[in-house]
Structure 1
Amino acid sequence: MKFTLILILFINILYTSIFSQTKKSIKALYTTENIKVDGFLNEVIWNKAEKSSDFIQFEPLNGAKASEKTDVMILYDNSAVYIGAMLYDKSKDSIYKELGKRDNAEVNSDLFMVGINPYNDGLNVVGFMVTAAGVQIDIKYNNDNEDFSWNAVWFSNIQILDSGWSVEMKIPFSALRFPKKTVQEWGFNALRQVRRNRELSSWNFVDKKMNSVTKQYGIITGIENIKPPLRLSATPYMSYYLQHNEQQQLNYRINGGLDVKYGINESFTLDMTLIPDFGQVKSDDKILNLTPFETFYGENRPFFTEGTELFNKGNIFYSRRIGGEPLNYNTVNENLAQGEKIKFNPAETKMINATKFSGRTKNGLGLGFFNAMTNKTDAIIIDSVGNEFKVETQPFTNYNMIVLDQSLRNNSYVSIINT
């Protein structure tokens, strides 16, 4: 009995060890055929592409064979990479497909995901998920830290079939950062969730006992002679505000500005915003704070949530102070003299511009520079005889931050941050 138990334990350890040490590979096939992203894998080229399957459970039985078969195929052309997947299911009517908002990974639905690591360094991974209801979810991983605020332009569709469901994705090269090399070798993994079984399985085995998930990816081979596209976008805006205050007065203002994103090369990106307006951003929930400590609010403004992995090292960077409530906003009312009243007291400082430069070299050195400027803010007071005067609530302010972050082995890093 003791010998049998030891033998079973040894086989289990050996089984897990083999999977954890082996990296699977899949070859992408070049195509000139027009791929219609409709969820039907009926183009002739899909039949010629390499099919890879044999998914292994991540949960609940880490290392066991997946309960349902999944086939994955990869194509590419001069502008995009295409992912095709056939997710077989013996119980078609039991496929969960709850609708939800984009980027909501908590929906009660089966899903399929691919993770792509173009530098094959196990650090910077972008993930593209599709639920069985067709809802898109995109995510960026940096050293296994998730960032659901990252959004890319990509295309997907699903079809519920008699044998299960199928997924078709088109991921433009503009959504990826990859090295300028003739022959590419990308890190890759695919994940499937069978919701009714609470089962997660992956194409390349992911050992839960190991610290990093993104370092346990397989490989995409066969991608050759592709060129990084020009990554440049400019988004102008104009907004109009009409405000009715407590004194029954109408105040209005017209704003205009510009957002620019430019990919300097395959590794570094420059983001700029001129006279930004975040009026359309979700407002904060009301929080009753009875402690002596300041309330910490989450960030919802896109400029401060996208591509900020480097600046969030050490939790030093609190972006809500930029363009937030003026320092002396609450003291204006406290310092009013007899007969004085407030005509206008801005609740936010006006941001003039902000610039963000970030990226990581081939040797794992991350570089980040951030600068933002906010204008002088004044409250307008009316005295007892009707004269108006200004009271400064916050002076002109310049915010700066520089980050150097070197990735090390075993999911470690060392950072130097200057603010």
Structure 2
Amino acid sequence: MPLEGYSELIVSSLRFKTDWLRHAMLGMGILGMVTLPVSAQVVEEEGSQDSLASVPIDPEAAPRPTLRALRAVGSITIDGRLDESSWANAAPATDFVQSTPRTGMAATERTEVRVLFDDNTLYIGAMMYDSEPDRIVAQRMTQDFYSPNEDIIGMSLDTFLDRRNAYYLMINPNGAIRDGQAYDNSRTSNVEWEGIMRVETERLDDGWSAELAIPFSTLRFDPSKERQEWGINFVRRVRRKVEDSMWAPVARRTRVHRMAEAGRLIGLPRLEGSRNITVKPFMLSERARGTLPGVAEQRSEGDVGLDIKWGLTPGLTADLTWQTDFSQVEADQEQVNLTRFPLFFPEKREFFIESSGTYAFGDLSERNYRLGASPRDFTLFHSRRIGLLGGQPVPISAGGRLTGRAGGFEVGALNMQTSSTDL
């Protein structure tokens, strides 16, 4: 065969192989386009929700959902079992959407939350279905447990519908509660707040359930409204899947008390404001006797005091204290400071805790709690400095505080008087 003909044969062979490869790749692309809807359908059928989305939605563009609260018929027993007929009659909040790890996709486990009420109490019942109930993670029974390490159902309530502030709480399958207040659209929070409420949970063959009762006297709201409309959102965490899903969709790594993106709770009638007064007196006595030989010295001392919490209006609360005693307050964790900057200890005295966010200005950016980013709070006022002088404690003789909301304004006023002491 001549050399020229041999070269032409090689070129023709290469051209044939190239054309064959091009057509093969084109055919594979068409086949992939044909089978794509089938694959999406398989994903949809494998999920445990009834209306799973095969493609992610934009959480911020999605419409905000609405949930209607239903008046309870008869009494509701808080036992963790949603077996009263009123629960079955209430419409559920469902179709949760993942915020992590697959933002915008439907939750892999079904969740249903219902809301009831009577004249004095708000009831919340939640059913968390689980395809592997033996793998539910619940380790803690302590108050204010560390929620990222547990399966939880959580919720937030914006009782003034200002889209900025909220009460929030998390419940794990053991019935432990983590509650607090959030301010400035989730930029600051106060986990030291402790609300009066009751919760019970129940382990089931197909998941777990939670039943919660919150007295309206625990919450602050506007009683002048003929019909109450609150901001609300729910979060479900499945720890083994590292999955957080919310009823009102939110952006990735956003917390449930970001109320600007919350849904709405409707159906509540006009509620009577509670001007409740809580009085907590205390008495402290001490008796000491000398222990040295020949010394019979005895010394007796006593002290009394009073704390009063008075709800002037459902939106305004006055706290009064006289001869304040903080001996029962949890001690600070000891730390060794090798820097030139002073240590920052959180406030733990009950008198200063409620509505402490009134005096915090929050971060300019969103706080990423999962990545451990620390908040850059503009703390112009730090109440831990009250009762201290030169690092030594100074007795607080009396004080008063007014916090809450008046119309469209958030109000905060504080006055404390300290006793004289020898330093």
**Structure 1 residue 243: deviation in Å?**
6.8
Answer yes or no: is the 8 Å Cα contact 1:62–1:208 preserved in 2: yes
Q: Structure 1 pair 245/307, CA: closer, same or farther in 2 (3 Å)? A: farther
Query: Which structure 2 residues correspond to residues 5-404 of structure 1 after superposition, within 5 A?
Result: 16-17=57-58, 20-106=61-147, 108-143=149-184, 144=186, 145-180=188-223, 181-208=225-252, 213-241=258-286, 253-313=301-361, 314-324=378-388, 326-327=389-390, 347-363=392-408, 365-378=409-422, 393=423
Answer yes or no: is the 8 Å Cα contact 2:73–2:86 preserved in 1: no
Of Structure 1 and Structure 2, the greater strand share is in 1
Answer yes or no: is the 8 Å Cα contact 1:20–1:206 preserved in 2: no
- How many aligned positions are there? 354
**Structure 1 residue 244: deviation in Å?**
8.8
Q: Which has the larger radius of gyration?
A: 2
Once residues 315 and 263 of structure 1 are traced to their aligned partners in structure 2, the CA distance between those partners, rounded to angstroms, is 27
* Secondary structure of the structure 2 residue equivalent to 1:40: coil
Answer yes or no: is the 8 Å Cα contact 2:69–2:268 preserved in 1: yes
What TM-score, normalized to structure 1? 0.77
Of Structure 1 and Structure 2, the greater helix share is in 2
**Structure 1 residue 177: deviation in Å?**
1.3
Answer yes or no: is the 8 Å Cα contact 1:20–1:205 preserved in 2: no
What letter matches 2:360 in structure 1? N
Answer yes or no: is the 8 Å Cα contact 1:114–1:189 preserved in 2: yes
**Structure 1 residue 367: deviation in Å?**
1.9
Answer yes or no: is the 8 Å Cα contact 1:20–1:216 preserved in 2: no
**Structure 1 residue 194: deviation in Å?**
0.7
CA deviation map 1:262-315 (0-9, x unaligned): 121122111111111111112233333344444433322111222211223431
Once residues 384 and 93 of structure 2 are traced to their aligned partners in structure 1, the CA distance between those partners, rounded to angstroms, is 46
Q: Structure 1 pair 224/244, CA: closer, same or farther in 2 (3 Å)? A: same
Once residues 290 and 334 of structure 2 are traced to their aligned partners in structure 1, the CA distance between those partners, rounded to angstroms, is 21
Answer yes or no: is the 8 Å Cα contact 1:100–1:107 preserved in 2: no
Once residues 156 and 414 of structure 2 are traced to their aligned partners in structure 1, the CA distance between those partners, rounded to angstroms, is 28
**Structure 1 residue 137: deviation in Å?**
1.5
**Structure 1 residue 138: deviation in Å?**
1.1
Bigger Cα displacement from structure 2, 61-70 vs 252-261? 252-261
Q: Structure 1 pair 89/291, CA: closer, same or farther in 2 (3 Å)? A: closer
Answer yes or no: is the 8 Å Cα contact 2:122–2:213 preserved in 1: yes
What letter matches 2:83 in structure 1? N
Structure 1 unpaired stretches of 5+:
6-11, 330-346, 379-392, 394-419
Once residues 402 and 281 of structure 2 are traced to their aligned partners in structure 1, the CA distance between those partners, rounded to angstroms, is 20
* Secondary structure of the structure 2 residue equivalent to 1:196: helix
CA deviation map 1:171-195 (0-9, x unaligned): 1101111112111111111111111
CA deviation map 1:201-254 (0-9, x unaligned): 111111239898221110111111321222321111112345799999876532
Answer yes or no: is the 8 Å Cα contact 1:28–1:221 preserved in 2: yes
RMSD over equivalenced CA pairs, Å: 3.0
* Secondary structure of the structure 1 residue equivalent to 2:313: coil
Answer yes or no: is the 8 Å Cα contact 1:60–1:199 preserved in 2: yes
Once residues 296 and 203 of structure 1 are traced to their aligned partners in structure 2, the CA distance between those partners, rounded to angstroms, is 36
Answer yes or no: is the 8 Å Cα contact 2:275–2:314 preserved in 1: no
Q: Structure 1 pair 213/293, CA: closer, same or farther in 2 (3 Å)? A: closer
Q: Structure 1 pair 198/353, CA: closer, same or farther in 2 (3 Å)? A: same
* Secondary structure of the structure 2 residue equivalent to 1:222: strand
Once residues 309 and 31 of structure 1 are traced to their aligned partners in structure 2, the CA distance between those partners, rounded to angstroms, is 34
Greater RCO (Cα-Cα under 8 Å, separation 6 or more)? 2
Q: Structure 1 pair 310/238, CA: closer, same or farther in 2 (3 Å)? A: same
Once residues 96 and 41 of structure 1 are traced to their aligned partners in structure 2, the CA distance between those partners, rounded to angstroms, is 22
Answer yes or no: is the 8 Å Cα contact 1:117–1:125 preserved in 2: yes
Structure 2 unpaired stretches of 5+:
1-25, 34-52, 362-377
Once residues 290 and 128 of structure 2 are traced to their aligned partners in structure 1, the CA distance between those partners, rounded to angstroms, is 58
CA deviation map 1:127-159 (0-9, x unaligned): 122111110111111111111011111111110
Answer yes or no: is the 8 Å Cα contact 1:241–1:254 preserved in 2: yes
* Secondary structure of the structure 1 residue equivalent to 2:201: strand
* Secondary structure of the structure 2 residue equivalent to 1:310: helix
What TM-score, normalized to structure 2? 0.76
Bigger Cα displacement from structure 2, 133-142 vs 300-309? 300-309
Answer yes or no: is the 8 Å Cα contact 2:232–2:262 preserved in 1: yes
Partner residue in 1 for 2:38: none
**Structure 1 residue 56: deviation in Å?**
0.5
